[in-house]
Amino acid sequence: MRRTGKLMLAAAALAALAAFPAAGQTAPFSIRTQQGTNVQNTSDGGTFNLPADGIGLASNGLVNVTYTNPSPGAAGVITSIQLLGSTDFVLNGVPDLTGGYTLTTKSSGLQFNVVYTPSTSQLESAKIVFGYTDGTRTGSFSLNLTGVAPDFAFTYLAPPAGNSTLLTNGATAQLAPASVNATSTTTVVITNKGSGQGVVNNISYSGSPQIALAGLPYPPATVAAGATVQFSILFSPLQLDPVSGTVKIDLVAGRGISFTVQGAAQGPVYTYDLPAQAATLLPGQTITVPSATVGGDPTVILVRVRNTGNQDGRIPTLAISGTGFALTEAPVVPIPLTVGSAVTFKIQFTPAQAGQFTGKLQVGNDIFTVQATALGSNLIYSYTAGAGATTLTGGGTASFPPAAVGQTSSIQFSVQNNGTADTQINSISVSGPQTTTFALTSLGGLPLAVPAGGTVTFTITFAPTALGTNNGTLRIDTQTFTLLATGTSPAPLPGFSYTGASGTVDAAQQPAIGLSLASAYGLPLTGTLTLTFTPEAFANDPAVQFASGGRTVTFTIPAGSTQAVFPNNATQIRVQTGTVAGTISITPAFATQTSAIDVTPTNPPALTLSVPQSAPRLTGLAISNKTTNGFTLLVTGYATGRSITQIDVQFNPVGGENVATTKLSLNVQASFAAWYGSTASQAFGSQFTASIPLTMDGQIVNTSQISNLVDTIQSVSVTLTNQQGVSTAQSVNLK
């Protein structure tokens, strides 16, 4: 039966070959291929590419054949499937074709798998041939298969000639040599000598930190067929001892290689020690020079340098920096140093002031810290004004916060002993333009002890008495510092009010007024009251003034008080109201008693006194130039409106005598207008003295008792009249 089966297959194959369609005939089938997510539609003679990840790693693909004849009732039958070409290709899941595999346009198709398992990295090819019948037609169509695979080779450029050397798993690569503290580079090359692209998943290193990888491709790195990627292995030795590590290159499916890298340094190696202390010294460490006293002998320490490397060396630099440090007995650079030889030099410390000092020693490329202690005191001066402290040197300036006149500001001044020995301050003083401007407070008794590492603090107070900049001097033993402070405007004056007379006042009076603050003021004040007069009768009355004389008067207000004090320690001052109607205004001005700083409020309120116009007033009545038959009447008075229209004279006879005219009314308006309009009247306000000569004519009744006509009048009464009214009558006796 097995022999018959083979003969039948051969016959079927021959029949299929004999029935291939003629040229130009198109098979009614389409082919769809898929590998992973890559789907492609093709037709007769198309190609299906199956890239593998490496030799021996299978690559799977899916093939689906569908019928494309759209005629109703049409069907196609796949009668055979043959795989021709490379045996690295295998078909899986091909359906049973006994009796053929029928397809219609509604069928899902004929589907099977193609597996490519490369045995070589070269390009491989094969072909799938499909036999079919379609009604009366018989023919075939095909699908070409290609397979590729990567194949990696690993090499490195081996020292010293730099020839390319193959790397295999577990091999050892000798790195390019480097001097101590220098770096050499060895290059590793990864070559894809296969037919398809490959992937380098990762490159890693473990081992000595003196070996490192550089220039690594970003993983995963795709390497095309025939292409290369490379990276570097850096060797930076810190000593001559050889070091090693492991490099691992990961490919797909756990493949790759791991190899050992080894590095050995060459060159001079310098070691350091301090012979006096039998101590070794490493670069970067600290060399402590013995302490020295300020003003005393310097101290030294011996340093030795040995070449413990495997090559002769040369030290190009030998230098030291830092206050008080110097090199002595040092060889001239450059310093040759053969293998096993040594050189010595000394570090000397000569301090100029006390404290801790630090420097740097440089020997070639190696750096050391140098430190030493200078024995003695070292005073550091600083002050605090607000949040932060400010350090001062001799002659420096300490600035105070501004202070208003009458207020104070202060600074905290500190003296810190940063030295290594105790000391003391014997004198501290401040001086300034005025003895009260700067002052020392919270200062203990002198001398002040300042221990090493200790601090003394005292307060300096600024109390300005004037506006502007104030300069002072602080002396601490032999050190001097400038004190700088600014006095600003004093506090605003509180409100004030007037006491005593106010409103309407009568003429020819001396009402008293006073002045007081609403609250006490912190500074002693001086002030001035200024009087102005605005007349209603167009004549300024010089009599309107302060009772002390003049139209200004000074006063003082002691610090912490509210009451103004006038001359003679009076708390009130009198004001002469004069004899002319008008308005008296009194305005104050205030200033500090020291430095006369004006603290007068803007537009201070004034005290206003009003003298109204009124009826005339008689101030005196007298008789002069008396004769046998006449006399002169002297009338003295004032009229605030500077106007008198009429004078009435009433004659009062002696008993038993008859006087024909008992009242005389005189129209004096013109006379008084002339007087008040004259320059001479200006000095008298509205005051006047009117002279009225009177002559008598008639008969004496009682001749036995009276011999002269003038003696018949017992007294005379007078009144004055103007627009405001009539004055009070005043009388004078003739007898």
Can you tell me the mean pLDDT for 159-176?
Answer: 87
CA distance 489 to 232: 77
**CATH 3.40.50.300 at 152-263, yes or no:** no
pLDDT at 182 (0 to 100) = 87
Confidence of residue 356 (pLDDT cuts 50, 70, 90): confident
Residue 148 pLDDT more than 80?
Answer: yes
Burial 512-547, CB ≥16 within 10 A → b, else e: ebbbebeeebebebebebebebebbbebbbebbbbe
Which of 247, 91, 69 lies closest to 156, judged by CA? 247
Q: Which fold would CATH assign to domain 379-488?
A: Immunoglobulin-like (2.60.40)
Query: Could you read off the pLDDT of 414-435 as tens digits, one per residue?
Result: 899 888 888 888 999 898 776 5
- Kind plus residue range of the DSSP H or E element containing 4: helix 2-18
SS percent in the chain: helix, strand, coil, step 5 = 5, 50, 40
Q: Which fold would CATH assign to domain 2-148?
A: Immunoglobulin-like (2.60.40)
Confidence of residue 11 (pLDDT cuts 50, 70, 90): very low
- For residues 261 and 289, the answer to whether their CB atoms sit within 8 Å is no
CATH class of the domain whose range is 496-611: mainly beta
Which is more confidently placed, 658 or 626?
626
CA distance 699 to 707: 10
pLDDT at 181 (0 to 100) = 82
pLDDT at 33 (0 to 100) = 96
CA distances from 371 to 275, 319, 397 (A): 18, 15, 32
Look at 73-82, 159-168, 291-300, 581-590 and tell me which has the smallest mean pLDDT.
Answer: 159-168
The pTM of the full predicted model, rounded to 2 decimals, is: 0.50
List, in sequence order, every residue forming a beta bridge with 279; answer none if it has no partner. 274
CA distance 231 to 245: 16
pLDDT at 408 (0 to 100) = 87
Report the half-sphere exposure of 441 (CA within 13 A, side-chain side). Answer: 14
Q: Which fold would CATH assign to domain 617-733?
A: Immunoglobulin-like (2.60.40)
**CATH 3.30.450.30 at 270-375, yes or no:** no
Residue 726 pLDDT more than 90?
Answer: yes
pLDDT at 12 (0 to 100) = 34
CA distances from 528 to 66, 275, 522, 571, 614 (A): 123, 90, 19, 14, 32
Can you tell me the mean pLDDT for 6-10?
Answer: 31
Helix/strand/coil (H/E/C) assignment for every residue in 139-154: EEEEEEEEEECCCEEE
Can you tell me the mean pLDDT for 637-665?
Answer: 91
Query: Could you read off the pLDDT of 506-562 as tens digits, one per residue?
Result: 999 999 999 999 999 989 999 999 999 999 988 889 999 999 999 999 999 999 999
Residue 128 pLDDT more than 60?
Answer: yes
Q: Give the domain ranges of the chain.
A: 2-148, 152-263, 270-375, 379-488, 496-611, 617-733
Residue 635 pLDDT more than 80?
Answer: yes
Which residue type does 199 have? V
pLDDT at 311 (0 to 100) = 87
Asked, colleague to colleague, whether 2-148 and 270-375 share their fold, the answer is yes
pLDDT at 434 (0 to 100) = 60
pLDDT at 5 (0 to 100) = 30
Residue 375 pLDDT more than 70?
Answer: yes
Query: Could you read off the pLDDT of 99-125 as tens digits, one per residue?
Result: 899 999 888 899 999 999 999 999 999
Averaged pLDDT score across all residues of the chain: 90
pLDDT at 1 (0 to 100) = 29
- For residues 177 and 262, the answer to whether their CB atoms sit within 8 Å is no
Provide the pairing of β-strand 202-207 with 243-250.
antiparallel
What 3-state DSSP class applies to 520?
A: coil
